[in-house]
């Protein structure tokens, strides 16, 4: 586990969080996941602010970002990340229920690394999350300053 | 050029011929005079000869008288002698006058005069001797022969004068003859020449007359044509007049000073005021013309006809007319054109106008309708965006709980199955399946609503290729089946390629679905084109449907088969209809239950339609 990287999951719905963690657990990745519940918390986490002032480590290896979140939505979070020199290299994957073209287009315009629509079917959902986790947290070589365990 | 040249030839020819004739006449006149002169000279010579004979006779008489007296001494013998003496000088004087023309003859006559004097003196000496000394001394004196010698000399001189005179005569006659010959030659030549000249002139004159006659013929022809065109002009004028009288548009023509030349009945009917000679300045007032604001009198020199007179063209100018006879006013539209002379000077103008009051009224009601429509369109748009917002939230908010439903049911199935009995496990399975189906429905519904909003990008699309691609996409569904594809000749159309692809995917997968029960599926794709649309059909030998429900076929969520028989959400044909409608086409279907179905759609053929293979 020493070489695994941290995954930041930004998701406001506790059920989605649970189902996502169930999926990631199949690859034993669940313990490497930090969960934030809205856009504001996501930014706090990334900037070591508020509750995360004492957070150790660097940037996460990947951010799984929900589009629709209270306070600050996913697109705004993405815009902030891509506008910040210290954060802009962090891989971001949109994981969302929306298949709206404008959401997809806007996300890619802002520089998202991947866009995944959560399948309604549970098996497909689990499969999708597992693959995202495996790819970004295991297979993909993250930018140099990412958190290492 | 040519007639002038020919005219000169005639003049010169005539002048020459006349001149030649004059010369010839002059010559013959001179000749005649010469001949007369010659004849006179002949007479002259005879007169000279006679006079010479007379002189000789006188001298003979003197001789004879002298001799007789000497022999006889009788004075009676001296009578002829004395008579001759008294006349001889007269004769000699006449002779001298006759020979003044020739100096040599004159000298001879002078000499003769001298000889005569000597002879008379000799004779007188003899007579004196006879009278004074008697016969013998006189006889001796005669015998000396002085008188005889003198007489011989005289005779010889007279003969010489006569000879010379005759020679002169001969010379003159010869000269006259030569002159006459020369004159005859010249005369003949002159006559021939003038004859030739006259012939030449005659030829030219005849030629000219022929030409003139031809020109006259042409003139006559032209005159006849002129008469014909005058006739035609008259007919045209008549037609024009009856046309002007019969058309509904007002037509007025004015000269450059504003005097009306034409004012047709319709013009009078529309304006309710006939032509006046008030002049351009008064037109606005006479006919009650206002600007489109309906209150400002039209500046008279800005009126379309006034502008046309100035050389401008005015198209469909609108103006308002109100006066005592048209108290409620009327709207006119006026088109005016200048009338120009050949050299471009203004000769006046023509204005054509009609009463558009009714049209105006209709336009304003159309405008009202249009405003209403626009309002409705805005309302529709608002409703539409509301709907869009709804479907957007549906996409997110409905799917999330559904996913949770499915997710937790699955977890229950997986982790809690041992605690459930048979029924419990079936319930969970049903929940999972229902959730999945609802997810499908939502996905399809969203896709369908997106069809209505996506921008159609039209290009030239080969349906032949599109069908080939669609069949390729369905390969997986046909692996275990016997499917006979019959693809006819399909056109290229101007359409959105990806939307049309969706149409064929839907139609072909439907065809495959409903032929599933057939041992061998036959699916035919073909096209027929008429002048304004291409009709494409997909025919299968599947289970078909009851034509009673044909109009339900293309509705959203409308299904004619039970879910256990054929899966599906009832969105496919609705999508097809929506796409085809967006392309301006139609959709319909024909079927006989259990004998297959044919789904048709049409696409309008615009400029970019090409038959297959073209």
Q: What is the ipTM of this complex?
A: 0.74
Report whether B81 contacts B72 (CB < 8 A): no
User: Given a cut of 50, is residue A148 above it in pLDDT?
Assistant: no
Q: Distance between alpha carbon B127 and the CA centroid of its chain, in Å?
A: 126
A68 contacts B399? CB cut-off 8 A:
no
For residues B207 and B203, give the distance between their C-alpha atoms in angstroms, rounded to a whole number. 6
Please indicate if any CB of chain B lies within 8 Å of the CB of A127. Answer: no
Specify the higher pLDDT residue, A144 or B474. Answer: B474
Say what the pLDDT of residue B4 is: 62
For residues B442 and B391, give the distance between their C-alpha atoms in angstroms, rounded to a whole number. 9
Q: What is the pLDDT of residues A56-85, one digit of tens each?
A: 777 898 999 998 888 888 999 999 999 999
Please indicate if any CB of chain B lies within 8 Å of the CB of A120. Answer: yes
Query: DSSP letter at B262?
Result: E
For residues B389 and A142, give the distance between their C-alpha atoms in angstroms, rounded to a whole number. 38
Report whether B286 contacts B278 (CB < 8 A): yes
Q: Which helix (H) or strand (E) holds B541?
A: none
User: Which parts of chain B sit beneath pLDDT 50?
Assistant: 1, 607-614
Residues with Cβ within 8 Å of residue A9, at least 6 apart in sequence: A17, A20, A21, A33, A34, A35, A36, A64
Say what the pLDDT of residue B352 is: 94
Crossing angle for the helix pair B78-98 and B2-72, to the nearest 10 degrees: 160
Give the 3-state secondary structure of residue B514. Answer: helix
Q: How far is A141 from chain B (nearest CA, A)?
A: 31
First to last CA, chain B: 69
Kindly report the number of other CB atoms within 10 A of residue B170's CB atom.
12
Average pLDDT over chain A, rounded to an integer: 86
Please indicate if any CB of chain B lies within 8 Å of the CB of A118. Answer: yes
Which of B396, B439, B454, B457 to mutate: most A Cβ within 10 Å?
B396
Specify the higher pLDDT residue, B414 or A45. Answer: A45
Report whether A149 contacts A1 (CB < 8 A): yes
For residues A116 and A67, give the distance between their C-alpha atoms in angstroms, rounded to a whole number. 11
Model pTM above 0.80: no
For residues B603 and B614, give the distance between their C-alpha atoms in angstroms, rounded to a whole number. 18
B403 contacts A119? CB cut-off 8 A:
yes
For residues A142 and A93, give the distance between their C-alpha atoms in angstroms, rounded to a whole number. 13
For residues B114 and B93, give the distance between their C-alpha atoms in angstroms, rounded to a whole number. 13
Q: What is the pLDDT of residues B173-228, one digit of tens each?
A: 887 788 778 778 878 888 888 888 888 888 888 888 898 999 999 999 999 999 99
Q: How far is CA B264 from CA B44, B97, B274, B313, in A?
A: 109, 112, 9, 21
A67 contacts B399? CB cut-off 8 A:
no
A97 contacts B411? CB cut-off 8 A:
no
Q: Chain A, 21-40: which have a CB under 8 Å from a chain B CB?
A: 22
Say what the pLDDT of residue B549 is: 82
For residues B397 and B270, give the distance between their C-alpha atoms in angstroms, rounded to a whole number. 69
For residues B512 and B481, give the distance between their C-alpha atoms in angstroms, rounded to a whole number. 10
Report whether B248 contacts B229 (CB < 8 A): no
What is the count of residue pairs from A and B with beta carbons less than 8 Å apart? 62
For residues A93 and A74, give the distance between their C-alpha atoms in angstroms, rounded to a whole number. 10
Please indicate if any CB of chain B lies within 8 Å of the CB of A45. Answer: no
What number of residues does chain B have? 614
Burial class for B535, CB neighbours closer than 10 Å (0-12, 13-18, 19+):
middle
HEC profile for B276-314? CCCCHHHHHHHHCEECCCCCCECCHHHCHHHHHHCCCCE
For residues B466 and B261, give the distance between their C-alpha atoms in angstroms, rounded to a whole number. 70
For residues B440 and A11, give the distance between their C-alpha atoms in angstroms, rounded to a whole number. 24
Say what the pLDDT of residue B479 is: 83
Q: Which helix (H) or strand (E) holds A122?
A: helix A122-133
Query: Which chain B residues are Cβ-neighbours of A99 within 8 angstroms?
Result: 395, 443, 446
Say what the pLDDT of residue B3 is: 56
For residues B468 and B592, give the distance between their C-alpha atoms in angstroms, rounded to a whole number. 27
In B343-392, the DSSP E strands lie at: 346-355
C-alpha torsion sign, points B99, B102, B105, B107: positive
């Amino acid at each position: 586990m020493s070489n695994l990287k941290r995954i930041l999951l930004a998701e406001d719905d506790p059920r989605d969080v649970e189902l996502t963690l169930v999926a990631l657990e199949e690859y034993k990745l669940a313990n490497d996941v930090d969960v934030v519940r809205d856009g504001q918390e996501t930014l706090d986490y990334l900037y070591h602010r508020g509750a995360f002032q004492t957070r150790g480590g660097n940037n996460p290896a990947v951010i799984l970002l929900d589009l629709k979140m209270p306070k600050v939505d996913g697109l705004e979070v993405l815009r902030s990340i891509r506008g910040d020199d210290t954060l802009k290299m962090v891989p971001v994957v949109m994981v969302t229920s929306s298949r709206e073209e404008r959401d997809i287009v806007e996300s890619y315009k802002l520089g998202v690394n991947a866009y995944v629509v959560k399948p309604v079917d549970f098996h497909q959902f689990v499969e999708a999350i597992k693959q995202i986790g495996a790819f970004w947290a295991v297979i993909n070589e993250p930018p140099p300053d990412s958190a290492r365990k | 050029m040519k007639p002038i040249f020919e005219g000169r030839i005639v003049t010169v020819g005539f002048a020459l011929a006349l001149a030649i004739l004059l010369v010839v006449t002059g010559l013959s006149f001179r000749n005649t005079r010469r001949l007369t002169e010659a004849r006179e000279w002949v007479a002259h010579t005879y007169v000279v000869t006679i006079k010479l004979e007379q002189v000789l006779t006188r001298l003979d008489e003197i001789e004879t008288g002298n001799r007789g007296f000497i022999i006889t001494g009788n004075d009676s013998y001296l009578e002829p002698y004395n008579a001759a003496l008294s006349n001889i000088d007269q004769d000699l004087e006449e002779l001298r006058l006759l020979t003044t023309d020739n100096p040599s003859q004159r000298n001879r006559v002078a000499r003769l005069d001298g000889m005569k004097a000597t002879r008379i003196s000799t004779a007188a000496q003899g007579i004196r001797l006879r009278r004074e000394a008697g016969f013998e001394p006189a006889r001796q004196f005669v015998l000396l022969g002085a008188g005889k010698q003198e007489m011989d000399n005289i005779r010889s001189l007279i003969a010489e004068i006569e000879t010379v005179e005759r020679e002169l005569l001969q010379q003159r006659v010869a000269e006259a003859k030569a002159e006459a010959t020369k004159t005859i030659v010249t005369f003949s030549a002159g006559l021939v020449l003038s004859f030739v000249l006259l012939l030449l002139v005659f030829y030219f004159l005849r030629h000219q007359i022929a030409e003139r006659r031809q020109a006259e013929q042409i003139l006559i022809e032209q005159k006849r044509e002129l008469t014909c065109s005058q006739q035609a002009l008259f007919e045209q004028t008549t037609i024009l007049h009856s046309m002007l009288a019969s058309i509904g548009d007002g037509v007025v023509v004015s000269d450059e000073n504003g005097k009306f030349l034409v004012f047709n009945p319709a013009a009078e009917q529309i304006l309710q005021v006939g032509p006046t000679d008030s002049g351009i300045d008064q037109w606005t007032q006479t006919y009650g013309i206002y600007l489109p604001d309906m209150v400002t009198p039209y500046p008279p020199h800005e009126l379309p006809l006034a502008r046309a007179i100035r050389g401008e063209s005015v198209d469909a100018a609108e103006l308002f007319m109100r006066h005592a006879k048209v108290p409620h006013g009327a709207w006119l539209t006026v088109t005016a054109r200048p009338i120009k002379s050949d050299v471009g000077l203004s000769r006046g103008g023509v204005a054509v106008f009609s009463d558009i009051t009714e049209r105006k009224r209709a336009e304003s009601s159309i405008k009202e309708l249009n405003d209403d429509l626009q309002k409705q369109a805005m309302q529709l748009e608002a409703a539409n965006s509301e709907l869009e917002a709804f479907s957007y939230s549906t996409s997110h908010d409905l799917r999330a709980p559904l996913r949770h439903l499915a997710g937790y049911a699955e977890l229950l199935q997986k982790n809690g199955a041992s605690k459930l009995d048979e029924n419990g496990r079936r319930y969970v399975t049903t929940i999972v399946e229902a959730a999945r189906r609802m997810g499908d429905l939502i996905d399809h519904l969203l896709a369908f609503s997106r069809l209505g909003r996506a921008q159609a990008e039209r290009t030239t699309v080969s349906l032949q290729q599109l069908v080939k691609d669609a069949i390729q996409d369905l390969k997986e569904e046909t692996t275990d089946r016997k499917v006979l594809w019959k693809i006819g000749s399909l056109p290229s159309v101007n359409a959105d390629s990806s939307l049309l692809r969706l149409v064929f995917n839907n139609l072909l997968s439907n065809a495959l679905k409903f032929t599933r029960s057939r041992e061998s599926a036959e699916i035919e794709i073909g096209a027929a084109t008429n002048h304004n649309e291409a009709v494409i059909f997909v025919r299968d030998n599947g289970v078909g449907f009851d034509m009673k429900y044909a109009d339900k076929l293309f509705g959203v969520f409308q299904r004619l088969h039970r879910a256990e028989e054929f899966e599906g959400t009832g969105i496919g044909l609705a999508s097809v209809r929506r796409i085809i409608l967006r392309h301006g086409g139609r959709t319909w279907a024909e079927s006989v239950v259990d004998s297959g179905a044919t789904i048709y759609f049409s696409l309008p053929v615009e400029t970019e339609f090409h038959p297959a293979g073209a």
